[in-house]
């Protein structure tokens, strides 16, 4: 969820086209590395281009304070570049969630945040965004050492765009209005839009900053208070953001962070009777559990952004060079750890053979390695579990009879690196064509007609995204209206924008992030009706 350095508010949040997939990178010199600031402890990770940061925040953040967990437990967070322990982080559980919810409930029921004028909430959010810009390098480093994300992309794109997301919703905070109703009888009616209350925000590990602020920003603008659970694999940046929120003037209790595990802390948030809404991004399997918990507790509102198995459909008239670039980018960006990855690529038979050759050539130039190296395009998978899961799917694909065109093996003997992997001769019912692998594994298939392409693109339980590459506007319009997915990209991929609603069909979930629809998820509509003077109302 990447041209390089698009931070102007009027520019797309994320955009990949054939022209933006090659960055102008330069190696960082030793003097520049040494001058990166006081937040570095002077010790270098093995083979790393950037020094390891001092980890400042490892405790839970509740009611404006960093605290140990009630149990005193901690857990390790691991550097996927090496498999080494970065630090130990407080392990929150039900008792800690209770404390955080109590603080958030008090801040909502009695505190200033929901009662502030929208412009004042917006002013504090703007200051929060400025602080994120100021500390962009530190935050990008934390996401690199915790998640294996490319440092160059984090510093120039992910973190600046987090700040822009905050500014976008800060600008909306004083524009939350109901409407006057034209009633059918002698009644005066109007609606109010009010913050939904205390919200639980459960965030995945693949985009620990971007996806966090896709939830935090509209929730803050609406006047909600919140309990955040970052993924156990990537807790570090969320805690740093909590520190910056306090510096910006976000009142105590409004933003709380509980680090811990899904089966304990995440479940406690989903079941909690004093949480009014849960927004979850993650796997479809866990999304089911969140819904069940909400139903069994207080019927809290739920929004879910879940898995995907997105098709990229390439027609005979496509520019083959551009199509190959987009196909590779669509599956290899962020190591394939992206819910909208174009993991199923359908190529029309007239250009199929030429496309395969071009794809194979380009895959050889895709550099895998240390995500701090500015020449690298793919870092390590997030952890050992995900690394082994991807490799098991690769083995399964070979056993099912698919042909391994490129890759398929680990890279190096340290860390969780996997070669870019492309399978041909894939059939739609194979596991690698049906399951979300969440790694750098492409299933490449051939088709004949538009009708066949549409039918096969829809042959999945998911419906998150799809891509179409063609020069024919009629084909583009026909296919985009026929594929059942929440977002369709034509002659581009990953073309996200903070103004554009984003979410899924089918088992990819429901509800929308981004845009004004993303804000409305955190608001209730209240209707107010009074009879007009001396008018009958029954």
The catalytic site residues sit at 305
Q: Give all strands (DSSP E) within 399-440, no chain letters.
A: 403-406, 410-411, 417-418, 421-424
The stretches of 135-283 forming alpha helices (DSSP H) are: 136-147, 151-153, 159-172, 210-222, 236-248, 267-271
Give the span between the Cα atoms of 305 and 307, in whole angstroms.
Answer: 7
| 378: phi then psi, degrees, rounded to nearest 5 | -145, 120
What DSSP character marks residue 154? I
The stretches of 6-74 forming alpha helices (DSSP H) are: 30-34
Pairing of strands 277-281, 198-202: parallel
b/e burial code for range 240-278 (CB count within 10 A of at least 16 → b): bbbbbbbebebbbbbbbbbbbebebbbbbbbbbebbbbb
Q: Which has the closest alpha carbon to 92: 231, 260, 319?
A: 260
CB within 8 Å of 331: residues ≥ 6 apart: 341, 342, 343, 345, 420, 440, 441, 442
Q: Which has the closest alpha carbon to 146: 205, 213, 203, 88?
A: 205
| 226: phi then psi, degrees, rounded to nearest 5 | -150, 155
Q: Which has the closest alpha carbon to 65: 115, 111, 100, 109?
A: 100
The CA distances from residue 226 to 61, 100, 195, 288, 484, in Å, are: 12, 9, 12, 22, 33
CB within 8 Å of 109: residues ≥ 6 apart: none
Give the span between the Cα atoms of 410 and 396, in whole angstroms.
Answer: 16
């Amino acid at each position: 969820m990447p041209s390089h350095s698009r931070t102007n508010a009027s520019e797309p949040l994320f955009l990949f086209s054939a022209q933006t997939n090659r960055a102008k990178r330069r190696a960082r010199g030793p003097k520049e590395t040494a001058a990166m600031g006081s937040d570095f402890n002077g010790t270098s990770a093995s083979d790393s281009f950037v020094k390891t940061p001092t980890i400042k925040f490892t405790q839970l953040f509740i009611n404006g304070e960093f605290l140990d967990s009630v149990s005193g437990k901690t857990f390790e967070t691991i550097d996927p570049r090496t498999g080494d322990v970065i630090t130990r982080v407080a392990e929150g559980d039900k008792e800690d969630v209770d404390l955080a919810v109590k603080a958030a409930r008090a801040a909502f029921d009695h505190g200033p945040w929901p009662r502030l004028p929208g412009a004042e909430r917006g002013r504090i959010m703007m200051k929060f965004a400025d602080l994120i810009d100021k500390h962009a390098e530190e935050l990008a480093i934390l996401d690199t050492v915790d998640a294996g994300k490319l440092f160059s992309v984090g510093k120039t794109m992910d973190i600046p765009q987090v700040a822009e997301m905050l500014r976008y919703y800060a600008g909306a905070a004083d524009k939350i209005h109901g409407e006057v109703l034209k009633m059918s009888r002698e009644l005066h009616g109007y609606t109010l839009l009010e913050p939904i209350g205390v919200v639980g925000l459960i965030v995945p590990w693949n985009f620990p900053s971007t996806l966090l602020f896709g939830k935090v920003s509209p929730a803050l603008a609406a006047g909600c208070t919140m309990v955040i659970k970052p993924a156990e694999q990537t807790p570090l940046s969320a805690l740093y953001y909590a520190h910056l929120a306090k510096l910006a003037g976000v009142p105590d209790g409004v933003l709380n962070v509980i680090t811990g595990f899904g089966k304990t802390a995440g479940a406690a948030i989903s079941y909690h009777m004093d949480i009014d809404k849960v927004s979850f991004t993650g796997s479809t399997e866990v999304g089911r559990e969140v819904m069940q918990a909400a139903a069994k507790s207080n019927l809290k509102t739920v929004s879910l952004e879940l898995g995907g198995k997105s098709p990229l459909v390439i027609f005979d008239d496509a520019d083959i060079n551009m199509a190959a670039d987009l196909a590779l980018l669509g599956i290899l960006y962020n190591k394939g750890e992206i819910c909208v990855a174009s993991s199923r690529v359908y190529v029309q038979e007239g250009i199929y053979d030429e496309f395969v050759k071009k794809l194979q050539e380009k895959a050889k130039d895709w550099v895998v390695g240390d995500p701090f190296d500015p020449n690298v395009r793919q870092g390590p998978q997030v952890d050992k579990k995900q690394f082994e899961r991807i490799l098991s799917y690769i083995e399964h694909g070979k056993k099912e009879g698919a042909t391994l065109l490129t890759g398929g093996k680990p890279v190096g003997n340290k860390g969780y690196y996997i070669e870019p992997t492309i399978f041909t001769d894939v059939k739609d019912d194979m596991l690698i064509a049906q399951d979300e692998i969440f790694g750098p594994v492409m299933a490449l298939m051939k088709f004949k007609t538009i009708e066949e392409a549409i039918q096969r693109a829809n042959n999945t339980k998911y419906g998150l995204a799809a891509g179409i590459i063609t020069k024919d506007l009629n084909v583009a319009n026909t296919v985009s209206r026929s594929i059942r997915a929440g977002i369709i990209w034509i002659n581009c991929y990953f073309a996200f924008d903070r103004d554009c609603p984003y979410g899924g069909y089918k088992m990819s979930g429901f509800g929308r992030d981004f845009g004004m629809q993303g804000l409305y998820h955190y608001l209730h509509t209240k209707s107010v009706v009074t009879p007009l003077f001396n008018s009958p109302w029954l």
